[in-house]
Chains A and B, each alone.
Chain A
Amino acid sequence: MIFQRQNRKTMDCKEVRRLITLYVDGELDVIESRHVVEHVARCETCYFAVKSERLVKRLLKKSITYVEPPLSLISSINELYEEKRSFLPIIMRFVPTIILVLAICLALIYKINEQRFDNKIFRNIKNPPLTASISDVNKFFSIFKNNSERLFIDRNNSPNIRFVGLRYNKLEDRDAAHIFYNHKGRYISVFAISGSINDKIYLTPLRPFKGDSYIIKRDGKSLLILSNQDISYAVTGDADENELYEILSSLR
């Protein structure tokens, strides 16, 4: 590889001298080595050159012996390697990443939670409408047209339930109305939501209840859901499940 002129049968001293170091170090290929050997057999000067080069190499190899490192060095390096061997520093390295991942997860869960349909409903319950503004009522009628009459539950048909207030809401991309009733002295919230909500993702899994209704329980309160093609209802309040179901049924 290094000796380029392999074609030439013989090499002159100059070329051999250049290859001596390589020859002695075993860096020549078979052909190059043979050329050197052949030349050296005929040329005493180059023979001596090879010999002196090899002598120096062998002298070093034979004379230089390695000593043992001081014990203090051995122990300090072992300590260095041992210390980092413990698990803690490796875990410590991942701490920022773990914290970041946890924070992202929490933020994500919070965000999803925020977005959950049923959570939005539960949040609204804490702040029930005690009156109905004209604009809310107008919006309500324009949105729920055919169903609007029923939602103002007729006092004659249902003497136990009394309309208290109404607020127009938006739940995600849906129009919704939060209607607040007094039922036998206890309060009931009804959410009327435009369209079907069957495709919605709920944080709390929906459990089938009576009929086509579904139930979600939260903090001892029940939320009953009934989804139709054009309108969906969610009912909750200070009543038991069966009473809520009765109210839900009366809205259909």
Chain B
Amino acid sequence: MMRINKKREIIKSEFLKYLKDVYNLSLYLTRNVEDAKDLTQDTFARALEYIDSYTPNTNAKAYLFRIATTIFFNNQSRLNTEQNHLEFRAFNEDDGSEVIGRDLNLIEDEEEKFIREYSSREVERLLLNLSFEHRTILILADIEEFSYEEISKILNIPIGTVMSRLSRARSALKKELLKREEIIRRETGGENIIRLSKYDLSKAK
């Protein structure tokens, strides 16, 4: 009994380490603070409920992400609707993290320049405009940098689906980026620092 208790304590502290990650994933899934709080709460409650099915030190983050996405997808299919109110960034307004690339040590290559042209707020908005399947897989692959195998376990889909969904998600985001570039091009009369269109496949024949 003492050993079971100790094991549970270890798992609990392992889970709690990822509170921030689960909350942020929830933010991008639900796209508003209140629902993200609920989803995070539900995820940790469910993880606690089934605590005995988790083996310590077996990627708690992926385990929690799996619970969070499962709860979200289940609610999603039940409601069969996506809320469209984007209350994102009601948080983090003034912490200066909006503009990326202030760090002078950044390598001044082309890609860095490109990236610096976007504020994190802008990228966030583009990401949040994608379908929940696309934004989920982009968070898992590009922000969390999980392997395809891990993503396949988290989302409970085959690796082939991970690949195709990720490829489509990036295309979708690219499309949004190109759209934004187009708008800026029109607004500024053409000459500016737009980069992605240079690499766009349709134009790079």
Contact = CB atoms under 8 A, between A and B. Distances in A.
B83 interface: no
B123 A61 contact: no
Contacts of A44: 204
Contact of A62 (B37, B115, B127, B177): B115
A56 B170 contact: yes
Contact of A59 (B16, B45, B118, B167): B118
A27 interface: yes
Contacts of B37: 69-70, 72-73
Interface stretch (A76-84, A121-129, A221-229, A235-243): A76-84
Contacts of A25: 141, 148, 166
A189 B41 CA distance: 75
Size class of the contact patch on chain A: 35 or more
Interface in A20-74: 20-22, 25, 27, 44-45, 48-49, 51-70, 72-74
A58 B106 CA distance: 13
Contacts of B204: 44-45, 48-49
Given A62-B115, A65-B97, A85-B12, A52 B199 contact: yes
A70 B166 contact: no
Contacts of B167: 20-21
Contacts of B196: 52, 55
Given A64-B124, A66-B20, A76-B41, A56 B198 contact: no
Size class of the contact patch on chain B: 35 or more
A54 B199 CA distance: 11
Contacts, number: 133
Interface string B106-144: 000001001100111011100100000000001101110
Contact of B24 (A45, A48, A66, A85): A66
Interface in B1-26: 1, 5, 9, 12, 15-16, 19-21, 23-24
B50 interface: no
Per DSSP, chain B at the interface is helix
A59 B12 contact: no
23 contacts: A25-B141, A25-B148, A27-B148, A45-B205, A48-B204, A51-B199, A53-B170, A56-B173, A57-B142, A59-B123, A59-B177, A63-B115, A63-B119, A63-B120, A63-B124, A65-B97, A66-B20, A67-B27, A67-B92, A73-B23, A84-B48, A85-B12, A94-B1
Interface of B: 1, 5, 9, 12, 15-16, 19-21, 23-24, 27, 33, 37, 40-41, 44-45, 48, 91-92, 97, 100-101, 111, 114-115, 118-120, 122-124, 127, 138-139, 141-143, 145, 147-148, 163, 166-167, 170, 173-174, 177, 195-196, 198-201, 204-205
Contacts of B141: 25, 57
Given A27-B147, A57-B170, A52 B123 contact: no
B40 A69 contact: yes
Per DSSP, chain A at the interface is helix
A94 B27 CA distance: 39
A87 B9 CA distance: 12
Contact of A61 (B97, B124, B143, B198): B143
A75 to B, nearest CB: 11
Contacts of A99: none
Contacts of B33: 70
Contacts of B111: 51, 54-55, 58
A59 B21 contact: no
Candidate in A62, A65, A68 with the most chain B CB atoms within 10 angstroms:
A62
A134 interface: no
Contact of B1 (A78, A85, A90): A90
